[in-house]
Structure 1
Amino acid sequence: MVLAVKNAIQRGVGRRRQDATSMRALEACLVVFWEKGEDFIGKVNPQKPARVRPSSPHSTFLRVRERGRRRKCSGQLRREAKRRKERRGRNEMRVSTVVNTYPLSNYTFGTKEPKMEKDTSVADRLARMKVNYMKEGIRTSVEAILLVQEHNHPHILLLQIGNTFCKLPGGRLKPGENEIEGLKRKLSSKLAANSPAHLPNWQIGECVATWWRPNFETVMYPYCPPHITKPKECKKLFLVHLSEREYFAVPKNLKLLAVPLFELYDNVQRYGPVISTIPQQLSRFQFNMVNT
């Protein structure tokens, strides 16, 4: 009898089969086994016989149906959460691609003490970069794209050194310095007045481009070449949203130019590869020309 019950349990429980036939066979064997007064599991109190809960096909169907309903509800919740996340992302993208540009005449320009360059030539700059690389590692620099509009066309503010060389306002970050805070510090150093009352409200926006310098050379790429494991510089360009009216103080040895996008486009000989590709990088934005 013990062997029969064990075989029934192995058939019904060991195989994990939940069909009605195996459950009824197991119940019948347990009833017979209880009548014989034998217990292969342990000593059972005869005053409180063990109760075997019958399992019918209907109860099994209800359990399966409830399990399926729960899975369906959880699936619907996951899909609804995914749709909400996608809608939120589309709304954020729609908002972030609109850039308000104000007339150049809205801004006031003054001067301040000269800000001398640390290097007198490109060779000196590369040599200083090599020395700093040996001390601090890769050079991280940030530059700002400041947009204004003239004749309903976007213009970018560039700093001119001498008669030919132009650059975006910005510079090198300190080791461990945050990119946003570092760019604000550099913009204030280059274009803000010494008075705290005239400090511009720098609203740093999206990073529109990343450039890499593989070696101690003037050539930079908008990607890091795969064979370069230790690039020498990483430069990031951020779009800065200007307020409707601001005051800029330009060092006396520099000039602040408003250059239209059509002049920058593909003009590598005049502005270099970083600045001349800004029109392509800004093509995904929608410019809102505000005339006030």
Structure 2
Amino acid sequence: MMLALALLLDAAFGEPRWLWSRLTHPAVLIGNAIGWADRRFNHGAARRLKGVLLTGALVLGGVALGGVIEALGALPTVLVAAVLLAQRSLADHVRAVARALRLSTTEGRRSVAMIVGRDTTQMEPPAIARAAIESGAENLSDGVIAPAFWFLIAGLPGMLAYKAVNTADSMIGYRTPRHEAFGWAAARLDDLLNLVPARLTALLLVLASGRGTDWRALRADARLHRSPNAGWPEAAMARALGIALSGPRSYHGEMQDLPWVNETGRRDAAPGDIDRAVMMLWKAWGVMLFVAILGAAL
């Protein structure tokens, strides 16, 4: 029942500015620690070993801190779990792109740049809409379903350990000269921790859509993604909306000819499709809430 309460608290309040303008968000604290370790240890010899040790320390630290908070009682546990979920903020950020795109292409580019890492300055409206929808699908898995899954499996210690590793992956888990060795352990462990949640997210989106799906085709599309996990929620969202996602895009000024997901779907995505995607995010969240309540009842 604690997970259900945390899901409801996050949905109701999200990340209120009045609170996080006065306190430091736990994700920021984790990020600050990883940034310090990156500056302090990511040089010289044995960089992969140093990254392995950092990742291990993050896991142990998350487990230990989660255990201490759980020992304080149900209320602190629920409050911290709610803070570590991101359903409300995710839906708000994705919906903001639809509102901005309805004003102008320039506003749409500015808004979507806040939630994606690709180049946005030359994006046309369909590409802006697709980018927002892709971000929503992928972050539903990373920011909501995976933390909830690890809470169900291992309580707050599991949830905090997952968030620490996922944050590390987003900061140092890149195949760049600086981070390929140091971030190797964080990236591989993040892939492992998201293996089940990503596929669970795809299932939740399929259930929320109320439409049947060809799982073999969905799996084939998921495998086109560079990540072993992110393609699953993206492929499920594409089929739920009847649109094509992914496709060519630019990173750091270099165009990449990436394959389309759900290639036969519409490619002229629009603000209305973003609105439908946000509704799908909430429907999938609702199925997850039902699962959490059912689990508590059993």
Give TM-score scaled by structure 2 length.
Answer: 0.21
Structure with higher Rg: it is 1
TM-score by length of 1: 0.21
Greater fraction helix: 2
More strand per residue: 1
